[in-house]
Amino acid sequence: MATENPTHGFCRDCLTQFADNAKRCPSCGSPRIVKHPELHNLAIAHIDCDAFYAAVEKRDNPAIRDKPVIVGGQIRGVVSTACYIARIHGVKSAMPMFKALKLCPEAVVVKPDMAKYAAAGKIVRDIMFQFTPLVQPVSIDEAFLDLSGTEKLHGTCPAISLAKLVKRIENEVGITASVGLSQNRFLAKLASDFEKPRGFSVIGKADTLSILAEKPVGAIWGVGKATQAQLAKGGITMINQLQSMEKSDLMRKFGNMGSRLYHLSRGEDIREVSTERETKSISAETTFDEDISDYKLLEPILWNLAQKVSRRAKASHMAGYTVTLKLKNRDFQSLTRAASYEDATNLAHRIFEAANPLLKKETGKKSFRLLGVGISHLVEREISEEEKSLDANDVARTKAELAMDKIRNKFGNTAVERGLAFKARND
């Protein structure tokens, strides 16, 4: 891949290539330059739009462009995305809205408009596909790209193709994105976060170990709060500590996670950029022997189905933005209703939480012979230990709530019992 006369720097504004001793672009004077000795040898990238929802809102409303903007508050009253001005005040994603507004009272709060973000995300995705067929979406606004072997097609190395790509996102979508370029997915994702917003960072083979060494263990993909706490108990907080440990030692202490920690702490990630997206949705449904019209009978069945979908989604490392409820009446007429989350989920209680109000709305008048629930708009999603334990807590809570409802329910108690037991076996 190396060129005859390698130039290890280029300008992200005018795309001029130059030797790597320049501080500014010798052609246009821009300080936005990228320099790296392995620039021509790396082809795996992670592109992540900057404060995506907030950026789309600012694009569409110039009056809020220079103000702190928080998008969120729809389903759970939390911050979905904060713009970079709001972040300076300490506002973060997933923070309760009341706390965010305490930190930044002058913030403009915008309700999420998922249809608008999906449309913008689709244009971003289409631009990516014009540079390589190997695009693996991670979420609505980020993806992995493998640009290996695209030099001939584009007449330039992957690094410069990527700079062209993000320029097109800026021009055609009106938002900015950050790029990480490296030798594998884990490192590319890590790099894209280094200089956000409008960043372009490179992790080469030679500097992998030293860059990782000074990062906290939480920088490792899939290491959530629970694993961090477990590692901290053993006095391990930084990746360099993992780098000096033997694989057998790590596996003895942390089981399968130990093997993962061993390889990722050394920047070894063998997963390839994969475009296989055959699964469009994950769903579960159940047909009743007798039609049911009572919401109190349908609710626990929906809960069982939500758990089933959650288990399958977790097993295949997928999560969905949209939760769909499906009902069929005795004439086999189908009815579907959907709700979209601001972030993809595969957690049982969240699938249930989205589908349950839809079910409530439809029941009462009609009776049904089939009930189903599913998630779609799928993306790949690694579930952290923390999320797993949070979901387990919420699952336990929802179970308890449903059990209470059952006891409180004066109507057809035995029918509920029978219905539940029967469905549980049928699942």
User: 300: cis peptide before it, omega within 30°?
Assistant: no
List the interface residues with Mg ion, window 54-93 (CB under 5 A).
none
- Nearest distance from residue 186's CB to Mg ion, in Å? 17
At 106, list the tokens.
């002058």
* Count of residues interacting with Mg ion (CB under 5 A): 4
Q: Is 38 in the site for Mg ion (CB under 5 A)?
A: no
List the interface residues with Mg ion, window 150-179 (CB under 5 A).
none
Q: What span, in angstroms and rounded, lies between the C-alpha atoms of 84 and 199?
A: 13
Q: Are strands 108-110 and 69-72 parallel, antiparallel or unpaired?
A: parallel
- Nearest distance from residue 49's CB to Mg ion, in Å? 5
Residue whose C-alpha is closest to residue 282's, from 185, 355, 150, 375: 375
- Nearest distance from residue 82's CB to Mg ion, in Å? 12
Give the phi and the psi of residue 171 in degrees, each rounded to 5: -75, -40
Q: Which stretch binds Mg ion (CB under 5 A): 48-56, 195-203, 257-265, 369-377?
A: 48-56
What residue spans of 81-184 are helical by DSSP H? 84-88, 97-103, 114-129, 151-154, 158-173
Whether 126 and 108 have beta carbons less than 8 Å apart is answered as no
Residue 49 or 187: the one with the smaller Cβ distance to Mg ion is: 49
What residue spans of 149-294 are helical by DSSP H? 151-154, 158-173, 185-192, 208-213, 225-233, 239-243, 247-254, 256-265
Whether 172 and 165 have beta carbons less than 8 Å apart is answered as no
Whether 141 and 42 have beta carbons less than 8 Å apart is answered as no
List the interface residues with Mg ion, window 90-149 (CB under 5 A).
141
- Nearest distance from residue 121's CB to Mg ion, in Å? 10
- Nearest distance from residue 189's CB to Mg ion, in Å? 11
Residue 48 or 342: the one with the smaller Cβ distance to Mg ion is: 48
Exposed / middle / buried, residue 191 (Cβ in 10 Å: 0-12, 13-18, 19+): buried
The helix (run of H) or strand (run of E) holding residue 203 is none
Residue 48 or 353: the one with the smaller Cβ distance to Mg ion is: 48
**Computed over its alpha carbons, how large is the radius of gyration of the chain?**
25
Which of the following is catalytic: 38, 57, 142, 342? 142
Residue 46 or 308: the one with the smaller Cβ distance to Mg ion is: 46
- Nearest distance from residue 182's CB to Mg ion, in Å? 18
Q: Which stretch binds Mg ion (CB under 5 A): 49-57, 61-69, 286-294, 327-335?
A: 49-57
Residue 49 or 79: the one with the smaller Cβ distance to Mg ion is: 49
Sole binder of Mg ion in the list 48, 57, 299, 387 (CB under 5 A): 48
Q: Which stretch binds Mg ion (CB under 5 A): 47-55, 99-107, 243-251, 277-285?
A: 47-55
Half-sphere exposure at residue 287, Cβ-oriented, CA atoms within 13 angstroms: 6
Q: Are strands 334-345 and 318-329 parallel, antiparallel or unpaired?
A: antiparallel
Active site residue 142: yes
- Nearest distance from residue 112's CB to Mg ion, in Å? 14
Exposed / middle / buried, residue 103 (Cβ in 10 Å: 0-12, 13-18, 19+): middle
Measuring CA to CA, how many Å separate 196 from each of 199, 267, 308, 317, 360?
5, 21, 38, 27, 43
Q: Which stretch binds Mg ion (CB under 5 A): 21-29, 45-53, 356-364, 384-392?
A: 45-53
At 111, list the tokens.
């309700």
At 49, list the tokens.
């739009």
Residue 141 or 269: the one with the smaller Cβ distance to Mg ion is: 141
Residue 52 or 341: the one with the smaller Cβ distance to Mg ion is: 52
**One-letter identity of residue 409:** N
Q: Which stretch binds Mg ion (CB under 5 A): 52-60, 209-217, 284-292, 414-422?
A: 52-60
Sole binder of Mg ion in the list 25, 49, 78, 85 (CB under 5 A): 49
Residue 175 or 187: the one with the smaller Cβ distance to Mg ion is: 175
- Nearest distance from residue 57's CB to Mg ion, in Å? 14
Q: In which order are the strands placed within the sheet that holds 200-202?
A: 135-139, 142-146, 44-49, 177-182, 200-202
Q: Which stretch binds Mg ion (CB under 5 A): 11-19, 42-50, 59-67, 365-373?
A: 42-50
The residues binding Mg ion (CB under 5 A) are 48-49, 52, 141
Q: Which residues are catalytic?
A: 142
